[in-house]
């Protein structure tokens, strides 16, 4: 039997370069070797966007289109919608008994995001608990490997803890997953912020036009100490250089050298990046257009993916309920 991959995104807007280089690249690479499940985590989106459920439908569609446009093959990978699998919610409840509130409130990603959403004084219970629900996302299909960005590492660690505790208490039912990071596990934002993030508006989206990409890169933050093109640069603090490193594998070492020597200015460096990113995005834009015009086909892909994931969830939950003795009428 093939090992399994589970990974996915929150439908809080279209996907960006950070998603591609942080996780999608590995989804596409591994999908032949692993049985792959891609979750569109709509319930998790509600943990921060609960006031705007009207946005979900379109965002679910956009996230599906982005994954397909990047090369996720619906004939071998299953893309599914979290809320359509109530077994995940049930599993979340069982897991919630195995985790302390204290542990959740010390999770560094929860802390950063709570600040971002002004949840520090009044933390929604569902938001604090989303890593528990994520443990259910990962384990209902007994995933072995979870390709994620760096911000997700504390959550995978929590999943591993829950699995160990569950198996120890109730018997070996669950599989302990491993995280998988890419060569660029955290792409910074155009504003120089630590993370390109849908919710921070500092992104180059996979569907951005040539013109938009050009405009965004021209405004991107670079090494603040560099005024003239001949000043010696510090690529390690430059967002534009990090993008070269992520997407321009052939030339980034040369660019690093020229920048340090003051032989390439920021304007020329940005021009190179604009061309690299636009070349990279062109086929993705084309495939996006294809799927955007075929909404019915995309919804069928989601329907089939959800059906397959649901069957596996039902099987796992039978085992889970038996293990915790919630099987009265058997
Ligand atoms: P939101 O701000 O709404 O949470 P997001 O941009 O963080 O959106 P998610 O849907 O939460 O996106 O994340 C989906 C996956 O993409 C996760 O594995 C996450 O680690 C990864 N990811 C997101 N942003 C980046 C980034 N800038 N660099 C690397 N990986 C990223
Ligand atoms: Mg996120």
66 in contact with ligand 1, CB cutoff 6 A: no
**248 CA from centroid of ligand 1 (Å):** 21
Ligand nearest to the CA of 201: 1
**198 CA from centroid of ligand 1 (Å):** 8
> pLDDT tens digits for the chain (330 residues)?
899 999 999 999 999 999 999 999 999 999 999 999 999 999 999 999 999 999 999 999 999 999 999 999 999 999 999 999 999 999 999 999 999 999 999 999 999 999 999 999 999 999 999 999 999 999 999 999 999 999 999 999 999 999 999 999 999 999 999 999 999 999 999 999 999 998 788 999 999 999 999 999 999 999 999 989 899 999 999 999 999 999 999 999 999 999 999 999 999 999 999 999 999 999 999 999 999 999 999 999 999 999 999 999 999 999 999 999 999 998
Which two structure tokens, joined as six digits, stand for 262? Answer: 């003051």
**98 CA from centroid of ligand 1 (Å):** 26
Ligand nearest to the CA of 18: 1
Please state, in angstroms and rounded to a whole number, the distance separating the CA atoms of residues 62 and 78.
16
**250 CA from centroid of ligand 2 (Å):** 30
Domains identified in the chain and CATH numbers: 4-187+295-323 (3.40.50.620), 207-288 (1.10.240.10)
Residue nearest to atom 26 of ligand 1 (CA): 18
Residue nearest to atom 23 of ligand 1 (CA): 19
9 in contact with ligand 1, CB cutoff 6 A: yes
- pLDDT for 60: 98
Q: What is the CA radius of gyration of the chain?
A: 21
**199 CA from centroid of ligand 2 (Å):** 8
155 in contact with ligand 1, CB cutoff 6 A: no
Sign (positive or negative) of CA dihedral 6, 57, 298, 209: negative
**19 CA from centroid of ligand 1 (Å):** 6
Cα dihedral 13→95→140→130 (10° resolution): 10
19 in contact with ligand 1, CB cutoff 6 A: yes
12 in contact with ligand 1, CB cutoff 6 A: yes
> What share of residues in the chain are helix, strand, coil (percent, to 5)?
60, 10, 35
151 in contact with ligand 1, CB cutoff 6 A: yes
Please state, in angstroms and rounded to a whole number, the distance separating the CA atoms of residues 134 and 221.
33
Closest ligand 1 atom, CA of 147? 18
- pLDDT for 200: 86
One-character DSSP codes across 15-55: -BHHHIIIIIHHHHHHTTTSEEEEEE-HHHHHHHHTT-GGG
């Amino acid at each position: 039997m093939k090992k399994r991959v589970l990974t996915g995104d929150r439908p809080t807007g279209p996907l960006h370069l950070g998603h591609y280089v942080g996780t999608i690249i590995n989804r596409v690479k591994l999908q032949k070797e692993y049985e792959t499940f891609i979750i569109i985590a709509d319930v998790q989106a509600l943990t921060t966007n609960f006031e705007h459920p009207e946005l979900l439908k379109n965002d679910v569609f956009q996230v599906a289109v982005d994954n397909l446009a990047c090369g996720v093959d619906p004939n071998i990978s299953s893309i599914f919608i979290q809320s359509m699998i109530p077994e995940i919610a049930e599993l979340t409840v069982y897991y919630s008994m195995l985790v302390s509130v204290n542990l959740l409130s010390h999770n560094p990603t929860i802390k950063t995001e709570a600040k971002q959403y002004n949840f520090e004084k009044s933390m929604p219970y569902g938001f604090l608990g989303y890593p528990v629900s994520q443990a259910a996302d990962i384990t209902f299909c007994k995933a072995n490997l979870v390709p994620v960005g760096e911000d997700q590492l504390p959550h995978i660690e929590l999943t591993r803890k829950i699995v160990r505790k569950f198996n120890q208490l109730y018997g070996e039912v669950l599989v302990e997953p491993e995280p998988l990071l890419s060569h660029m596990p955290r792409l910074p934002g155009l504003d120089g912020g630590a993370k390109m993030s849908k919710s921070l508006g500092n992104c180059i989206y996979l569907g951005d036009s040539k013109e938009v990409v050009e405009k965004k890169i021209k405004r991107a933050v670079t090494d603040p100490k560099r005024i003239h093109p001949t000043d010696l640069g510090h690529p390690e603090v430059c967002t534009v250089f990090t993008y070269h490193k992520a997407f321009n594998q052939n030339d980034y070492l040369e660019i690093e050298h020229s920048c340090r020597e003051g032989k390439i200015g920021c304007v020329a460096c940005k021009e190179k990046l604009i061309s690299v990113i636009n070349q990279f995005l062109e086929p993705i834009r084309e495939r996006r257009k294809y799927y955007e015009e075929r909404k019915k086909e995309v919804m069928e892909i989601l329907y089939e993916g959800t059906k397959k994931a649901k069957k596996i969830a039902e099987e796992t939950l039978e085992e889970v309920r038996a293990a915790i003795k919630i099987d009265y009428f058997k």
